[in-house]
Amino acid sequence: MTEMVFGATPVRAGDPILPKWWRTIDRWSLFAVLMLFAFGLVLGLAASVPLAEKNNLPPFYYVTRQAVFGSMGLLAMFVISLLTPRQVRRLGVLGFFVAGLVVLALPFIGTDFGKGATRWLSLGFASVQPSEFLKPCFVAAAAWCMAASQEVGGPQGKSFSFVLAVFVALVLAAQPDFGQASLVMFSWGVMFFVSGASLFWLLGAGGLVVGFGLFSYGASEHFARRIDGFLSSEIDPRTQIGYATNAIQEGGFFGVGLGEGTVKWSLPDAHTDFIIAVAAEEYGLVMVLVIIALYATIVFRSLMRLLRERDAFARIAGTGLACAFGVQAVINMGVAVRLLPAKGMTLPFVSYGGSSVIASGIAVGMLLALTRHRAQGEMADVIRRSR
């Protein structure tokens, strides 16, 4: 009777946590995440062995570490997916302040590992990239501000969220990390649109981003070098982009065969930023299309569920998390095929990296928590009862 009246998944009082979680979670998205992680381990077996040999480490050193970090990320995803939207909001806001303080301190306590960008915090036994954790927490904090502005007599949350986004983007750009800064502004723009922003303000924000890009091109040699390389009509075959594009072409539809690829011996970042090139060369277009389909499944199903969500915070934050997750994958693959300038961005759950896979687990955990079916938690229920 409850389901007929309210149109939502009934939740019985005293239900055990795990059965309740299993009934309400988006199992297709959960399965897609597990498949992506499994593909990442398989590709890591091929892509990371040359680097391990170069560094005089055991052949499967990086794969083993990825399995450990990935297990931590999946555990974080599971635990966070058990939370309510209110708990997700609290976790996100607290995480934003902690990660934000660490990012601000990076110029003094961080390191660049010789890559020209101070993005990492070295712990001796491992390194942490705080900006990876800042992204999902920023989405939660900004969504909280936007949702509060929709309440009667609420604060100017949208304006405050814009100031917050610009501040975070400037801090990240100063590292320099223009890729993460762009992703932060993109996720804010999506949430701003979903929260009911006018086209005028969206165009104004887009104009500021373009203006900042032009300023960065003239002021940052690092940024200008990447843009010039992207706009060049010729590809130097000895660069990472050159090796990656050649590997993708060599792979064809079905690849050259497991372990037969050569790009992993030439690319220093074959196991991280350019792992999709390894997949394309050894397994072909078929593997790449499967990976794309898995990302599309997560994003599409999440957005479809959020269309029925009536809680403002869950709807705004969930949309920001889903779109940021999907766009990060698009950016990584777009760089490999030279559709986008190089940004040094990982492929979520597939690329090697402890910070990346754990932060991805946190982000998707938040997304799964916000898209769970909840009693009387859908927009359609409100419309039905108002007729």
Tokens of residue 210, six digits: 């373009």
At residue 317's C-alpha, the angle toward residues 321 and 102, to 5°, is 70
Amino acid at 145: C
Packed helices 275-306 and 240-251: angle between N→C axes, nearest 10 degrees:
80
Number of CB atoms found within 10 A of residue 128's CB: 19
The whole-angstrom distance between residue 225's C-alpha and the CA centroid of its chain comes to 25
Please give the pLDDT value at position 3: 38
Please give the pLDDT value at position 217: 67
Amino acid at 195: S
Q: Is 375 exposed, middle or buried (0-12, 13-18, 19+ CB in 10 A)?
A: middle
Please give the pLDDT value at position 384: 52
Do residues 73 and 360 make contact, with C-beta atoms less than 8 angstroms apart?
A: yes
Please give the pLDDT value at position 75: 97
Q: Is 220 exposed, middle or buried (0-12, 13-18, 19+ CB in 10 A)?
A: middle
Please give the pLDDT value at position 300: 96
Q: Kindly give the confidence (pLDDT) of every residue in the chain, 387 residues in length, as a single tens digit, with 9 standing for 90 and above.
A: 333 333 444 455 556 888 889 999 999 999 999 999 999 999 988 888 888 888 888 888 889 999 999 999 999 999 999 999 999 999 999 999 999 999 998 888 888 776 667 788 877 777 888 999 999 999 999 999 999 888 766 678 888 998 999 999 988 888 878 888 889 999 999 999 898 877 777 777 777 777 777 776 676 666 676 666 666 666 655 667 777 777 888 888 888 877 777 777 777 777 788 888 888 888 989 999 999 999 999 999 999 999 988 899 999 999 999 999 999 999 999 888 878 877 778 899 999 888 999 999 999 999 999 999 876 544 555 445 445
Q: Is 169 exposed, middle or buried (0-12, 13-18, 19+ CB in 10 A)?
A: buried
Tokens of residue 205, six digits: 């924000």
Do residues 209 and 140 make contact, with C-beta atoms less than 8 angstroms apart?
A: no
SS3 letters for 287-316? HHHHHHHHHHHHHHHHHHHHCCECCHHHHH
CA-CA-CA-CA torsion for 68, 70, 74, 80, nearest 10 degrees?
Answer: 90
In the three-class reduction of DSSP (H, G, I as helix; E, B as strand; rest coil), residue 138 is classed as helix
Q: Which helix (H) or strand (E) holds 127?
A: strand 127-128
Amino acid at 348: P
Among 41, 33, 34, residue whose Cα is nearest residue 65:
41
Largest Cα–Cα separation, the chain: 70
Among 196, 184, 145, residue whose Cα is nearest residue 327:
184
Please give the pLDDT value at position 1: 36
